[in-house]
Structure 1
Amino acid sequence: MASRTYRAIFFDLDGTLLPMELDEFLGAYFEAIANFVAAHGLDAATFSAGLKAGIKAMAVHDDGRTNADAYWEAFFSHADRDAADWDELLAGFYERDFGAIGAGVVPNSAAARAIETLAAKGYPLVLATMPMFPRRAVEWRLSWAGIDASRFGRITSFENSTSVKPKLAYYAENVAACGLAGEDVLMVGNNTVEDLAIRGLGADAFLVTDHLLDPDEGFDLASVKHGTMEEFAAWAEALPACADPAQGIEAGIVEAAARAAVLSRAEEA
């Protein structure tokens, strides 16, 4: 069925494995975390300003720091560092309150079926989600999708990532974490810009169309493998077992030199 073989398969989360409208989710998230902070006697407006500054910092920084470090530096340009034990306070939010945001999510059973199928065939899996959330928030979102987080050898979050989509550096970091070249990877996503950027490293892609996002508009679907999540699950069932799986995937922070080597190889190709 496939014209290429793969040593690892990367997945986007929101709109791909997790069937939700991103704008609705983000609106609910911003409201919930602001209310949580206010309930603990802190100024919600100041917190929200810091949150937005942190998100912007993660999007634009390119200095090798983790996204978490970039976030907190920008956050504290607005919020009082001494107003709370921020790590402990927000860990409580993500451990408990955040989970309620997904109460109305109806998972697509085809997503879990695809993951289980590929895992059974020996494909190493990487959750290549936008790494602007703490790991616990990502785990919650996987649970909303009905997917077992342990199936993934690497899950990107703001703790272990130094870049974001659609930057090639983000994808190079994750390819390097697997000890692979871009050509060894299949990316499964729903965004023609953020998820297909990995093709700049030579990776293959499958575009899931249930919640298709085409920011630049006019993308030619015929130029890439594509279909609904149900169709992707069937496609995965037809794949052969993984003949040469990636070994020793790095779950944590990736060495800058390893990321640079992947980028250099892509530039030379």
Structure 2
Amino acid sequence: MKVFLFDYDGTLAKDNGFAEEYFKHLTSFFKEKDVLISPNLILDCVEEITKKPDGTTNLERYMKCLESKTKRKAEEWKDLFMDFYRSDLFDTLRNTVRPFRETLDLLSEKKKEGKIVLATNPVFPRIAITKRLNWIGLSEKDFHLITDMESFHFCKPDPRYYLEICEKIGVLPEDCVMYGDDEVNDGACEKTGMKFIKVR
């Protein structure tokens, strides 16, 4: 059985200002709740969970990082972020991504040949990823596995991220093909024995 992995940003979806608007909307949403948060704090914690895996999930490490840098508990941070991802304000970000039609067509073709994995860097929770998929005309049902913060313990470009995918679906790296636009983050799959195909 062949397994085909697809990255999201830059592969399935074209960034039309998502990052900038994401931080703007997030800080605005938190400010209304009298919570101050900066893009630098968010990026620092993303970097920490990328470089310092410790056996806990990315979500757990991310919230613990925020707790360590602020006076707010990890569970409080988690609730705040989940409220944001459930909000109408987050939904307005749908205008900041566009589907890459040719890659979506490729994904559709590969469904006939094997299992499909959304191999997006797991720095978002499932609810946010599901919405981002919907924005480009896809859904959870299009994938055998989705890599999210709640269930993954590594981030790109750590090769163990790709090995964790293989472990979860019960295949060898040699049975997998990774489609992505980033030679560093996506191309790291080759260190495990996977094949990497650059789409841009």
What TM-score results when the alignment is normalised by the length of structure 2?
0.90
CA separation of 1:84/1:161 partners in 2, compared to 1, >3 Å: closer, same or farther? closer
Gaps of 5+ in 2: none
How far off is 1:8 after superposition? 0.7
Select the residue among 149, 172, 179 that pairs with 2:170: 179
Q: Which residue of 1 aligns with 2:108?
A: 116
Q: Which residue of 2 aligns with 1:208?
A: 199
Give matches, 1:3-152, under 5 Å: 7-20=2-15, 24-45=17-38, 48=39, 50-81=41-72, 85-96=76-87, 97-119=89-111, 121-152=112-143
Letter matched to residue 11 of structure 1? F
CA separation of 1:61/1:84 partners in 2, compared to 1, >3 Å: closer, same or farther? closer
Q: SS at 1:132's partner residue? A: coil
- Which protein is richer in helix relative to its size? 2
CA separation of 1:132/1:104 partners in 2, compared to 1, >3 Å: closer, same or farther? closer
Alpha carbons 1:58, 1:71 under 8 Å: kept: yes
What TM-score results when the alignment is normalised by the length of structure 1?
0.68
- Which protein is richer in strand relative to its size? 2
Letter matched to residue 93 of structure 2? I
How far off is 1:44 after superposition? 3.5
- Counterpart CA distance in 2 for 1:140 and 1:173 is 24
Structure showing greater Rg: 1
Alpha carbons 1:7, 1:185 under 8 Å: kept: yes
Q: How big is each residue's C-alpha offset from its partner over 1:224-256, in whole Å with a ceiling of 9 and x where there is no partner? A: xxxxxxxxxxxxxxxxxxxxxxxxxxxxxxxxx
- Counterpart CA distance in 1 for 2:140 and 2:106 is 14
Alpha carbons 2:6, 2:118 under 8 Å: kept: yes
- Counterpart CA distance in 2 for 1:182 and 1:203 is 5
- Counterpart CA distance in 2 for 1:56 and 1:94 is 21
Q: Which residue of 2 aligns with 1:216?
A: none
Letter matched to residue 126 of structure 2? R
- Counterpart CA distance in 2 for 1:128 and 1:205 is 12
Gaps of 5+ in 1: 1-5, 210-269
How far off is 1:82 after superposition? 5.5
Give matches, 1:149-164, under 5 Å: 149-164=140-155
How far off is 1:62 after superposition? 2.4
Q: How big is each residue's C-alpha offset from its partner over 1:60-113, in whole Å with a ceiling of 9 and x where there is no partner? A: 112211111111111012233259943333212101222211224332333332
Q: Which residue of 2 aligns with 1:191?
A: 182
Aligned Cα RMSD in Å? 2.1
CA separation of 1:64/1:117 partners in 2, compared to 1, >3 Å: closer, same or farther? same
Letter matched to residue 23 of structure 2? F
- Counterpart CA distance in 1 for 2:108 and 2:74 is 45
Alpha carbons 2:66, 2:74 under 8 Å: kept: no
User: What percentage of aligned pairs have identical amino acids?
Assistant: 29
Alpha carbons 1:107, 1:145 under 8 Å: kept: yes
Q: SS at 1:206's partner residue? A: strand
- Counterpart CA distance in 1 for 2:167 and 2:179 is 18
Select the residue among 159, 176, 181 that pairs with 1:168: 159
Q: Which runs of 4+ in 1 moved over 6 A?
A: none
Alpha carbons 1:19, 1:145 under 8 Å: kept: no
Q: SS at 2:14's partner residue? A: coil
